């Protein structure tokens, strides 16, 4: 009886994997890992390499590798149509980017002798997905910056995308939770909606640690191996902005407000 039950479970897993391979236009937002020997290379998105049936390597090479060397391993725990569950562990250092861009990210350092310290940023994450045509995904990740030696850099208080990249090193940590809905409309078109909530260190002067992010994108299949992604992303965060408003007593006063920024999204990926 036990052998029969075990064989049935293996059969269901094999059917789930076969259906995933038959999906004409799979979602790249899916929590599942890439099959062994497969490769995904993006202009801005990470490079993903299927090392084994249950293991995937993720990194970013080229210009980003010089600015922030990084590597992560993703491990599959469940792989089927109803549920795909993976965990990840990664390591990066943003110090080369900070030092190269000191006169821009840190304008007052343009002619100073100060330097950003060396940081190691370990990150762990968990992701779960369900469905094939409509893929629903929930991801969560925690990254912590560990300083090595002296450091003169402080939180940047700048644009949200840049802030999120350097937050673990400069403000201590970054915690992110993301919900994704990814729907295949046609054999060559998918629509993707994402909503994220990030928490980072408060910085000095203090500010709200919460950053809200939303994005809407379309993925288009260009032949069998190429994929084009176009969309917009929106951030709501605290940049110490203020506006003058009339108070309850009729007097004009300054009031803290959160900033809203919208940026275009673009990526080209080759998938084999």
pLDDT tens by residue, 167-226: 998 888 999 999 999 999 999 999 999 999 999 987 767 788 999 999 999 999 998 899
Hey, is 144 helix, strand or coil? Answer: strand
Q: What's the length of the chain? A: 272
State pTM to two decimals. 0.82
* CA neighbours closer than 13 Å in the CB half-sphere of residue 235: 19
pLDDT at 111: 54
Angle at 222 between CA 216 and CA 228, to 5 degrees: 30
Q: Decide yes or no: CATH 2.40.160.40 for domain 2-271.
A: yes
Confidence of residue 69 (pLDDT cuts 50, 70, 90): confident
Q: Residue 23: how many CB atoms within 10 A of its CB?
A: 14
Burial class (CB in 10 A: 0-12, 13-18, 19+), 186: exposed
As given in the structure block, the two tokens for residue 213 are: 């992010």
pLDDT at 174: 95
Percent of the chain with pLDDT over 70: 81
198 alpha-carbon distance from chain centroid: 11
Residue owning tokens 């993707």:
192
Confidence of residue 16 (pLDDT cuts 50, 70, 90): very low
Alpha helices in 23-92 (DSSP H): 63-67
pLDDT at 64: 64
Q: Which residue has the higher pLDDT, 197 or 244?
A: 197
Mean pLDDT rounded to a whole number for the chain? 84
pLDDT at 205: 72
Most confident of the following: 3-7, 112-116, 226-230 = 226-230
pLDDT at 123: 97
Q: Nearest to residue 192, comparing CAs of 237, 134, 258, 260?
A: 134
pLDDT at 22: 54
pLDDT at 271: 92
- Measured CA to CA, the distance from residue 219 to residue 234 in angstroms comes to 18
Give the model confidence (pLDDT) of 28-51 as tens digits. 999 999 999 999 998 888 899 999
Percent of the chain with pLDDT over 90: 50
As given in the structure block, the two tokens for residue 249 are: 């007593």
Mean pLDDT of 40-64: 87
Q: Nearest to residue 29, comparing CAs of 181, 171, 149?
A: 181
Residue 133: is its pLDDT beyond 80? yes
């Amino acid at each position: 009886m036990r052998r029969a039950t075990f064989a049935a479970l293996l059969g269901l897993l094999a059917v789930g994997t076969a259906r995933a391979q038959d999906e004409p236009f799979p979602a790249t937002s899916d929590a599942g890992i890439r099959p062994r020997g497969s490769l995904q290379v993006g202009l801005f998105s990470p490079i993903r390499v299927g090392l084994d049936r249950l293991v995937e390597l993720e990194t970013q090479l080229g210009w980003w590798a010089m600015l922030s060397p990084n590597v992560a391993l993703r491990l599959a725990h469940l792989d089927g149509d109803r549920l795909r569950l993976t965990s990840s562990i990664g390591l990066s250092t943003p110090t080369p980017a900070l030092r190269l861009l000191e006169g821009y990210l840190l304008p007052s350092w343009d002619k100073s002798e100060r330097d950003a310290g060396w940081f190691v940023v370990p990150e762990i994450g968990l992701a779960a997905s369900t469905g094939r045509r409509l893929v629903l995904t929930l991801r969560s990740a925690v990254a912590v910056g560990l300083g090595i030696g002296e450091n003169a850099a402080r939180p940047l208080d700048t644009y949200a995308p840049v802030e999120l990249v350097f937050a673990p090193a400069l403000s201590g940590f970054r915690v992110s939770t993301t919900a994704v809905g990814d729907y295949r409309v046609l054999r060559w078109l998918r629509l993707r909606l994402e909503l994220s909530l990030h928490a980072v260190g408060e910085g000095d002067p203090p500010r709200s640690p919460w950053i809200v992010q939303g994005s809407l994108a379309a993925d288009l299949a260009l032949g069998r191996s190429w994929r084009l992604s176009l969309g917009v992303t929106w951030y709501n965060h605290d940049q110490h902005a203020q506006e003058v408003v009339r108070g309850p007593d009729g007097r004009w006063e300054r009031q803290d407000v959160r900033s809203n920024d919208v940026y275009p999204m673009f990526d080209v990926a080759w998938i084999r």
